[in-house]
Amino acid sequence: MTRLASLTRRSALAAIAAAIAARNAGATPDETRAWLAAQAKGTPREGRVTLKAPEIAENGNAVPVTVSVESEMSETSYVKALYVAADGNPNPGVITYEFTPLAGKAEVQFRTRLAQTQKLIAVAQMNDGSLWMASREIKVTIGGCGG
């Protein structure tokens, strides 16, 4: 009886370890594009979005990021939403912001956790439906998502 219980525990621990390893796997660039496409319909064009982050992050636990979008933020022209994705994290969606003309400007600052060297992609959706984007590769020397 003890031997059977031991095998069951071992099997359970192996299953947990496999689940954790699968969870820590990074999203692929295709999964990242699919996540962004589900958020904002259409093809984003380069421009209007500025993504600032360090080229090298010594620690992936808290990478500072600033994203801004050129827009007058008036009733007739404004940023409706901003989506940020990372193509190497377990979940590609990093953060989503929604704006109104009352925001005054479309600029956000946040810290994100990056598991490994990867590309951050920011897509701005304008009130007219147009999409604009910027991307930046960040080299991570110490992973932040369990690495």
What's 105's domain CATH number?
A: 2.60.40.2470
Q: Is 16 within the bounds of a domain?
A: no
Q: Which of 13-27, 37-51, 110-124 has the lowest mean pLDDT?
A: 13-27
Between 25 and 104, name the one with better pLDDT.
104
77-94 tens-digit pLDDT: 999 999 999 998 888 999
Q: Is 8 within the bounds of a domain?
A: no
Between 109 and 32, name the one with better pLDDT.
109
Q: Is 118 within the bounds of a domain?
A: yes
Q: Is 90 within the bounds of a domain?
A: yes
Q: Is 21 within the bounds of a domain?
A: no
> Could you give the number of structural domains in the chain?
1
pLDDT at position 22, please? 47
Q: Is 102 within the bounds of a domain?
A: yes
pLDDT at position 134, please? 97
In this model, does residue 3 exceed pLDDT 60? no
Residue-number span of the structural domain to which 76 is assigned: 27-140
> pTM for the complete prediction?
0.78
pLDDT at position 21, please? 47
Q: Mapped to the 3 state alphabet, what secondary structure does the chain carry?
A: CHHHHHHHHHHHHHHHHHHHHHHHCCCCHHHHHHHHHHHCCCCCEECCEEEECCCEECCCCCEEEEEEECCCCCCCCCEEEEEEEECCCCCCEEEEEECCHHHCCEEEEEEECCCCCEEEEEEEEECCCCEEEEEEEEEECCCCCCC
